[in-house]
Amino acid sequence: MNLSPILTLIAEALKIYLPAMVANATPVFLKQGKPLDLGAKFIDGKRVLGDGKTFEGLAIGLFFGTYSGIIETLVFKNLVFIRIGLIASIGALLGDVSGSFIKRRLGLKRGDPAPILDQLDFIYGATLLLYLIGVTVTLEKFIAIQVITLILHIVTNRIAYVLKLKPVPW
């Protein structure tokens, strides 16, 4: 079996989605911040977003996501990554915020698991915003990045568990 088309697909998918992944991952290191919803409740009486979505988180994600796009611009000598870095980061963060909005409407508390939504909401947000500025991701890459993200999620959680950073391996 020739693996090179698969490896190329993985590399191409990671290239487009790196800023989104960085924007989504970096806010996690925050311990606390000012909630985006300022503590407000929605018409259903539950928090609009909850304490897990903060202004500081948005700022950190936007900074590091955009920064990774600038690095890609230099590495691949292609200015398009400046745009991808900025827009995909915003999209990823909006996707993550939308995911929390949905979780709260479903009655899930901050941090309660919502499999697939938790892991992939940022990809949908990034893909949508990239599409809106004319960067269309092929279906192949769109599917590839979701598979990669789910695998990365399982692997990083295992590592965090082994390093005793997390009490459970999932």
Question: Does the footprint of ligand CTP cover residue 94 (CB under 6 A)?
Answer: no
Tell me the three state secondary structure of residue 29: helix
Q: Which does 141 bind (CB under 5 to 8 A by kind): Mg ion, ligand CTP, none?
A: none
The secondary structure of 97-139 as a DSSP string is HHHHHHHHHTTPPTT---TTHHHHHHHHHHHHHHHHTT-PPPH
Q: What are the beta bridge partners of residue 41?
A: 47
Stretch that binds ligand CTP, among 7-15, 26-34, 37-45, 126-134 (CB under 6 A): 26-34
Q: Which is nearer to ligand CTP, 72 or 96 (CB)?
A: 96
How many degrees, rounded to 5, is the angle at CA 18 between CA 84 and CA 118?
A: 110
Question: Does the footprint of ligand CTP cover residue 47 (CB under 6 A)?
Answer: no
Q: Which is nearer to ligand CTP, 33 or 71 (CB)?
A: 33
Question: Does the footprint of ligand CTP cover residue 40 (CB under 6 A)?
Answer: no
Tell me the three state secondary structure of residue 54: strand
Nearest partner of 135 among 17, 8, 5, 22, judged by Cα: 17
Q: Are 96 and 119 in contact (CB under 8 A)?
A: no
**Residue of minimal CB distance from ligand CTP?**
57
Give residue for tokens 């409740």: 41
Question: Does the footprint of ligand CTP cover residue 50 (CB under 6 A)?
Answer: yes
Stretch that binds ligand CTP, among 46-54, 65-73, 134-142, 152-160 (CB under 6 A): 46-54
Question: Does the footprint of ligand CTP cover residue 30 (CB under 6 A)?
Answer: yes
Q: Which is nearer to Mg ion, 51 or 118 (CB)?
A: 118
Q: Which residues bind ligand CTP (CB under 6 A)?
A: 27-28, 30, 33, 50, 52-54, 56-58, 93, 96, 100, 103, 110-112
